[in-house]
């Protein structure tokens, strides 16, 4: 295997999450010049990101991902084409001395490409949580690290040189996004795709790690978060608008995905 194309990662120790966020380049913007000490996973949603690594040209377009490795000099010869992407920073701790490591932690090495294709919607659930979950104490720090490891496992299982969502799951995702306020999403899915609910639920969970109703709840919270930031509507009104007539159910789901209540979210955003 070409050492410039593939990367060997040995676990444990496991990767440690640092930060992540969505990023949008302006027209004519260049990638920054730096030598960075962490891994950066780039998942491009739209446009094209251009940069060089140790003098080698790299171009990552919509539907592609790339893993920037530590301590390589990055700059840009050409402007990027207004890329919209999600980045995740992580680091690999020093290797555990095996003379003191618990015997149940046997080393496992995976070989992965440093670039490939993927459907970013498969990871959207984790993108929003990792970017927005507040780290206030040790418990929330552990929770965010757990989320990252869940994402990383899913990414390793699904994103590769030729890995994509199946057409039916891709269409189900779009269907749910267009009907996120529906009260009977599984019934609508069975009617639209002509399969049993059990079959569709199993297929969706196999490829995304989440059942359709859980993905629908996430989309509702995503829209509610925007409403909290952009309007003065009450929490009850927003919950109803995104599909939850019961306010307590809305608050419980919002807290499950973002780690705080809708009111706490709104108050925190107003202070920023």
Q: What pLDDT, in 10s, does the model give residues 35-65? A: 999 999 999 999 999 999 999 999 999 989 9
Tell me how far apart the alpha carbons of residues 171 and 137 are, in angstroms, rounded to a whole number.
39
pLDDT above 70 covers what percent of the chain? 87
Q: Where are the alpha helices (DSSP H) in the chain?
A: 124-132, 138-158, 167-178, 185-193, 197-208, 212-230, 235-242, 247-258, 262-271
Angle (nearest 5°) at CA 92 between 88 and 94: 160
Quote the pLDDT of residue 20.
Answer: 96
What pTM was computed for the model?
0.66
Quote the pLDDT of residue 213.
Answer: 94
Tell me how far apart the alpha carbons of residues 55 and 74 are, in angstroms, rounded to a whole number.
8
């Amino acid at each position: 295997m070409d050492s410039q194309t593939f990367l060997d990662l040995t676990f444990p120790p496991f990767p440690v999450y640092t930060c992540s966020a969505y990023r949008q380049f302006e027209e004519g913007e260049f990638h920054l010049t730096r030598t960075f000490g962490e891994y950066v996973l780039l998942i491009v949603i739209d446009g094209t990101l251009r940069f060089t690594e140790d003098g080698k040209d790299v171009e990552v377009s919509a539907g592609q991902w790339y893993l920037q490795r530590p301590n390589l000099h990055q700059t840009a010869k050409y402007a990027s084409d207004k890329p919209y992407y999600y980045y995740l920073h992580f680091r690999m701790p020093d290797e555990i001395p095996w003379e003191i490591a618990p015997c149940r932690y046997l080393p496992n090495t995976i070989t992965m490409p440093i670039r490939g294709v993927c459907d970013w919607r498969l990871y959207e659930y984790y993108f929003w949580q990792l970017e927005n979950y507040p780290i206030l104490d040790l418990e929330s720090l552990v929770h965010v690290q757990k989320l990252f490891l869940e994402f990383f496992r899913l990414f390793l299982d699904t994103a590769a040189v030729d890995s994509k969502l199946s057409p039916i799951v891709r269409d189900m995702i779009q269907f749910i996004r267009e009907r996120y306020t529906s009260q009977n999403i599984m019934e609508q899915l069975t009617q639209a795709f002509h399969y049993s609910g059990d079959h569709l639920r199993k297929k969706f969970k196999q490829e995304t790690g989440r059942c359709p109703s859980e993905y629908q709840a996430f989309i509702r919270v995503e829209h509610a978060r925007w409403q909290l930031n952009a309007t003065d509507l009450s929490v009850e009104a927003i919950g109803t608008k995104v599909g939850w007539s019961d306010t307590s159910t809305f608050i419980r789901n919002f807290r499950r995905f973002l780690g705080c209540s809708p009111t706490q979210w709104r108050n925190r955003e107003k202070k920023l």
